[in-house]
């Protein structure tokens, strides 16, 4: 039977783009995070929406699970095939199809990477940009949007999923469906004013269909960029500091980091305030305004701006942040995962203290990073744990620390983002039963044979 399915897949995509070999099954059974591997039966690299359709028809006929994969950098194991089947690596579908300069959007295929779009805009539309996550450039636009990602413009504009204008999706049963204005007009300008069906695919971890194209919003790309760094030692001040800075409407991005290493940073909360402008006068005005709004902390010697040499600023301003990747090797162990909990701003002090507590319990240096979302409507509070990939006990220790962080985030009133399979169960346990029943009804309607990434968002 396996050979028949392999041959059928090879017939669809070409034999060079399907594998059931040990090497691919090994690699596609895991991601760089801590979760245990789950082996697929086949890895398939489609090139067109028609090929995706044919694969889903086959999968329905044969009742084979299908797991879509973008850049494979989610870290929480969402593209591990929990029940085997086909991993659909979408990266051959990587074209940039259309840029609408006036209505400021771009249409891309699902395998298009963040890096490729960034470079394309830099070369061809330097006055436009998209919001770039802190993940490496090989992360895909689609993958990040579909997990409700965030990035360097999220303070100003919200979650990346809010920047989505439209989708082309192959439904689990194989039909191609358009979502948003592109369903009705040739343009991909908006999800409104139609019923917003994008919600059927956002945050579902590939359990409701395979996205093949999408449009995202682009934004003006001011020529001047700068970063200000504000230090405090009292986490109780942070909600007010965040509120004050975002209240100026001058910051494009606002992150807070707190890390035990290097040891001279221990106990400090470092706010990275990113400012962009078209002129020197404008950027100076914005920086002055931000400085003034935090004046009371400076006067009371409760905080202050850090001098940052230009060369160091460059490393913080770079998108994507290469420095972020280096955290993975901070233990010279190549491993790193984080719980990014979405929560209200006022929970910062408690979330921070919980992070210290968990890190101390697991005898690992604490490392927390916070991104403010949508003018402080909420934040992504990340508890990061590096681990040594060569030491399985260390990986499992990080896994336990992450699970405890997920529990802590939920108990505080937050919700783990791109939650691992065990954390999804924690969320579902706390979810209003009617909400989870609705999720199940939607899934059953869309995916009658239960082939799409089974094991995720699953309620018995």
Of 326 and 361, the one with the shorter C-beta distance to another protein is 326
Of 136 and 455, the one with the shorter C-beta distance to another protein is 136
Rounded to a whole number of angstroms, the minimum distance from the CB of residue 376 to another protein is 30
Of 139 and 370, the one with the shorter C-beta distance to another protein is 139
Rounded to a whole number of angstroms, the minimum distance from the CB of residue 218 to another protein is 17
How many C-beta neighbours within 10 Å does residue 343 have?
22
Rounded to a whole number of angstroms, the minimum distance from the CB of residue 252 to another protein is 21
Q: Are 215 and 166 in contact (CB under 8 A)?
A: yes
Which residues lie near another protein (CB under 8 A)?
Answer: 16-17, 19, 21-24, 26-28, 32, 43, 45, 71-73, 89, 91-92, 113-116, 118-120, 122-123, 136-138, 322, 325-326, 328-329, 332-336, 388-390
DSSP for 377-403? TEEEEEEEEEEETT-HHHHHHHHHHHH
DSSP for 26-69? HHTT--SSSSPP---SEEE---SHHHHHHHHHHHHHHT--EEEE
| DSSP H or E stretch at residue 255 | strand 253-259
Q: Which residue has the tokens 């070999």?
A: 21
Q: In what order do the strands lie in the sheet with 164-170?
A: 96-100, 105-109, 210-217, 164-170, 176-180
Name the DSSP letter for residue 452: B
Of 391 and 429, the one with the shorter C-beta distance to another protein is 391
Q: Which residue has the tokens 């028609």?
A: 50
Cα–Cα distance between 32 and 73 in angstroms, integer?
7
Rounded to a whole number of angstroms, the minimum distance from the CB of residue 430 to another protein is 32
Rounded to a whole number of angstroms, the minimum distance from the CB of residue 326 to another protein is 6
Rounded to a whole number of angstroms, the minimum distance from the CB of residue 30 to another protein is 8
Of 32 and 239, the one with the shorter C-beta distance to another protein is 32
Longest CA span, the chain = 74
Of 122 and 185, the one with the shorter C-beta distance to another protein is 122
């Amino acid at each position: 039977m396996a050979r028949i399915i392999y041959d059928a897949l090879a017939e669809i995509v070409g034999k060079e783009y399907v594998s059931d070999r040990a090497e691919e099954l090994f690699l596609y059974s895991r991601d760089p995070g801590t979760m245990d591997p789950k082996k697929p039966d086949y890895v398939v690299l489609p090139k067109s929406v028609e090929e995706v359709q044919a694969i889903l028809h086959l999968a329905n006929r044969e009742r084979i699970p299908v797991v879509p994969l973008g850049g494979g950098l989610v870290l929480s194991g969402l593209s591990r095939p929990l029940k085997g089947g086909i991993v659909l690596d979408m990266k051959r579908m990587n074209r940039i199809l259309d840029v609408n300069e006036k209505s400021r959007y771009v249409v891309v295929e699902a395998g298009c990477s963040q890096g490729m779009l960034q470079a394309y805009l830099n070369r061809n539309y330097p006055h436009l940009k998209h919001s770039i996550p802190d993940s490496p450039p090989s992360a895909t636009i689609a993958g990040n949007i579909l997990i409700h990602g965030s990035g360097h413009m999220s303070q100003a504009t919200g979650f990346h999923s809010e920047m989505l204008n439209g989708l082309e999706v192959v439904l689990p049963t194989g039909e191609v469906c358009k979502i948003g204005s592109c369903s009705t007009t040739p343009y991909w300008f908006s999800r409104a004013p139609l019923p917003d069906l994008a919600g059927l695919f956002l945050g579902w971890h590939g359990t409701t269909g395979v996205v093949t194209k999408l449009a995202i919003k682009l934004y003006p790309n001011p020529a001047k960029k700068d970063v200000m760094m504000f230090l405090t030692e009292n986490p109780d001040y942070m909600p007010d500091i965040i509120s004050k800075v975002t209240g100026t409407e001058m910051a494009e991005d606002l992150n807070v980091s707190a890390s035990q290493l290097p040891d001279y940073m221990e106990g400090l909360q470092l706010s990275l305030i990113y400012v962009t402008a078209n002129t020197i006068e404008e950027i100076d005005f914005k920086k002055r305004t931000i400085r003034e709004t935090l004046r009371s902390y400076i006067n009371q010697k409760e905080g202050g701006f850090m001098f940052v040499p230009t060369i160091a600023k460059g490393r913080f301003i770079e998108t994507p942040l290469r420095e972020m990747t280096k955290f993975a090797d901070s233990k010279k162990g190549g491993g790193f995962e984080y719980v990014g909990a979405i929560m209200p701003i006022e929970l910062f002090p408690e979330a921070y203290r919980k992070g210290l507590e968990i890190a101390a319990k697991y005898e690992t240096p604490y490392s927390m990073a916070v991104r403010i979302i949508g003018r402080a409507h909420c934040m992504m509070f990340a508890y990061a744990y590096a681990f040594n990939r060569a030491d399985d006990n260390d990986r499992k220790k990080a896994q336990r620390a992450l699970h405890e962080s997920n529990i802590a985030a939920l108990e505080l009133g937050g919700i783990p983002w791109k939650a691992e399979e065990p954390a999804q169960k924690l969320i579902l346990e706390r979810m209003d039963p009617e909400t989870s029943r609705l999720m199940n009804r939607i899934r059953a309607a869309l995916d009658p044979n239960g082939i799409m990434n089974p094991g995720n968002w699953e309620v018995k």
